Structure 1
Amino acid sequence: MLREVRKKQINETITQVAIELFKQKGYENVTVEEIALKSGIAKGTFFNYFQKKEHLLLHIVNSYMQLMDQIVHRHQEGTVKERLQHILRDILSIYFLHPSLLRLTLVETIKSTLETKDASTNITMFKETLGTIIAEAKQSGVLRSSWDPNLSASVVVGVFLNTLINWSSSLNEEELFKVLQRQLDVVWEGIADE
């Protein structure tokens, strides 16, 4: 039991030290040796927890995914569209707390998704969470849609990621959310009335 507690403490220490170093120096300028030294561990010990520095970034994103679960539970009221907008708004707010760090994690998450067929990537978990909301609304009759909930969730996540990738470096949080809302409106209403 003590061993598990110690492992968890070391993992948290490595993560916190890395976040601080990434914020201070930028991801590219921080080495594994530096993270290990500031964490009070040997370089080899770092690799017992993370295969490489990029995996540490993905671990940080996983921590934010736990926050997403809390956000989803906070937004249980309103239409499905309103709930999704509130959830995406809160996630956007988290993004703007540490934009440079989260930009890096976004890049690594996308690379990881492209490089692996692993169904547990952060993007997949994000889609599944939104898909569950849409499926529950459809099943209860609150949402009338002929589209598969998972496909719908995939489109919403795609719009969200597209917004972050294309506009997050040039717009403030409020402006970015307005762009996201406009894009979601297009998706929600459909591209053509046929």
Structure 2
Amino acid sequence: MLRASRKQELKERIFAQSIKLFKEKGFDNVTVEEITQACGIAKGTFYNYFPKKEAVLLHLAVSQLESVHETIQNNKNMPDLKQQLLHLFSNLFHQYAEQPDMVRLVVSEMMRADMFINAEIRIIEKFRQALTALLDDAKNKGQLTTQAVSEDIAAVLTGVYFNSLMIWLSAGTDAIQIETLFQRHFDIVWEGIHPGGAVKQ
């Protein structure tokens, strides 16, 4: 377990150092050799964690997806579905608040490069699948009685989330403000699938 923890720490260190270099010089101008020199590791060690430089950028999205699964697992016994969903999205927005420059850089680079499109689509699909499974489970538990298809609800929630992300990126809005905006939009979706269930302000 300790060894696994150290491996994860090294991976995060490589990621953080890479992002620092990308911010300073631009993604296209940074080589794997520069990253390994900055981290004090061999090239082989870098490739043990990231098959290529581009994979460093995908690490954030993969980490967020892992965080989503972990949050869903930790909150699976929470009786209030709305709070469970809001808590799930809130965790993602808090990552924006903690390291806004890093998140902006990673997302901007991934949107700019065609090589990331397929990988991004796969991650978004897995995110949608995780939400669908959560909604199906809520239906089975009687927490959600809508006739709407879980996949459709998950697609709408995913769209609302990524719309908030794009607004945050383009407007430079504070992460807390964008979470508030997301919650307002979420309430509209929630009222559609759970009439009368929206929290009154």
* TMscore range, shorter length: 0.7 to 0.9
Alignment partner, residue 157 of structure 2: 156
Q: TM-score w.r.t. structure 2 length?
A: 0.73
Cα displacement (A) at 1:48: 5.8
Measured in 2, the distance between the counterparts of 1:36 and 1:49 equals 12
- 1:53-132 matched pairs, under 5 angstroms: 53-76=53-76, 77-107=78-108, 115-116=117-118, 121-132=122-133
Measured in 2, the distance between the counterparts of 1:25 and 1:19 equals 10
Alignment partner, residue 36 of structure 1: 36
Alignment partner, residue 135 of structure 1: 136
Alignment partner, residue 18 of structure 1: 15
Which consecutive residues of structure 2, in runs of 5 or more, have no partner in the other structure? 196-201
Alignment partner, residue 175 of structure 1: 177
Measured in 2, the distance between the counterparts of 1:24 and 1:125 equals 30
**Is 1:147 paired with 2:148?**
yes
CA contact (8 A) 2:97 2:176 kept: no
Measured in 2, the distance between the counterparts of 1:32 and 1:182 equals 43
Cα displacement (A) at 1:175: 1.4
Alignment partner, residue 198 of structure 2: none
- The change in CA–CA distance for 1:70 and 1:49 in structure 2 (over 3 A counts) is closer
Could you give the per-residue CA deviations for residues 109-164 of structure 1, whole angstroms, max 9, x where no partner exists? 66679732897x32222211111111111122221122221221121011101101
Which consecutive residues of structure 1, in runs of 5 or more, have no partner in the other structure? none
Cα displacement (A) at 1:180: 0.2
State the secondary structure of the residue aligned to 2:88.
Answer: helix
Cα displacement (A) at 1:78: 4.1
Could you give the per-residue CA deviations for residues 7-56 of structure 1, whole angstroms, max 9, x where no partner exists? x84x8535413313424661725432211222344446645653432211
Measured in 1, the distance between the counterparts of 2:48 and 2:65 equals 23
CA contact (8 A) 1:92 1:177 kept: yes
**Is 1:186 paired with 2:183?**
no
Greater shift, 66-75 or 78-87, is seen at: 66-75
- The change in CA–CA distance for 1:173 and 1:117 in structure 2 (over 3 A counts) is closer
Identity %: 30
Cα displacement (A) at 1:174: 2.5
Paired amino acid for 2:62? N
CA contact (8 A) 2:132 2:154 kept: yes
Q: TM-score w.r.t. structure 1 length?
A: 0.75
- The change in CA–CA distance for 1:109 and 1:155 in structure 2 (over 3 A counts) is farther
Greater shift, 161-170 or 37-46, is seen at: 37-46
Aligned residues: 185
CA contact (8 A) 1:62 1:122 kept: yes
CA contact (8 A) 1:159 1:184 kept: yes
State the secondary structure of the residue aligned to 1:190.
Answer: helix
CA RMSD of aligned residues (A): 3.4
